[in-house]
Structure 1
Amino acid sequence: MPQATKSKDGCINQLKIAENHLSGNYQEKRESYDKEEQLMIYLSKGHSPNDKYESYDEILMPIGALLNNTLNYQEKNEVIKEYGLDDEEFKERMRDMCNLGEALELEARQEESKRKDVEHVRNIIDEFHCSLEKAMDILKLTEKERQEIMPYFQA
């Protein structure tokens, strides 16, 4: 739980699920219950990497650094190095995670921009009673932007 409240920061809870056979000739298949136990780790976004956790710091700090989207790769790497997790394979996986996070953020921004373009075009069409082409001309949309929003206006 990477965005827990400050009051839950550093809490670790265990959840257990267990099958309890009550009746019949059923034979249990253990392989289908591979998630009988889960750990919920609560981390506050506002936790400073300079502050140590009272307990389980060797687990909570590296996980917190990896999940913290306000730290860049270099800052995460410093925390990881402090906890002895700085081998090349781990660093490569961490770099991939950082790149994935940046890619997801970029994709979200692009989707928001597209949504706003569609909204602006609709507003211009409604306000000025003009065609889709004219509305896109007024907004000076690029050819790429036009192609992306066209499907939203097809009946």
Structure 2
Amino acid sequence: MEDGDLLSRALDFYGLPKKFDANLVRSRFRELSRKYHPDSGEYETDILFKELVQLRDVLLSSLQNDPFAILENSKEDPEGFQFYKSAKQKAAQAIEKYFQFTDGNPVYLKKEDNPALLRLRQELETAKNGLEEFLEKFPKSIWKEDTETTLKKISVWFKD
């Protein structure tokens, strides 16, 4: 089954709209787990509960893969904090993953000396694009200065 089909199935199972956030997924999971859990729900078998858990993971991972598409249209966030936060988290996670991968070895900023740098740059590119898009969409946000500082720090990883 393709990722899109699995996501559609998850949305149907959870009864969610196409635009959702992690809080909505968690809230709906709590509701449905009361219904489907074999110890306390309406069903004695754990098949539906396992399906519920698997599809929750699909929904949450789809948010991690493309958080900007969902947060972009949020009307409850006029200053863009969730958009900003998501981009900052992507950058921090990419750098943390890089350092875990290199396990404290010296950091080389030349591609030929450090093949893991290419992967880091790809992951940081997504965060960088998100931060730049944040600046375009929310030019008067209180997080503008921090966003610009973060972009300067990220740019270090792209120097050869």
TM-score range, shorter chain: under 0.3
TM-score (norm 1): 0.28
Task: Give the helix-richer structure, 1 or 2.
Answer: 2
Question: Which entry has the higher C-alpha Rg, 1 or 2?
Answer: 1
TM-score (norm 2): 0.27
Task: Give the strand-richer structure, 1 or 2.
Answer: 1
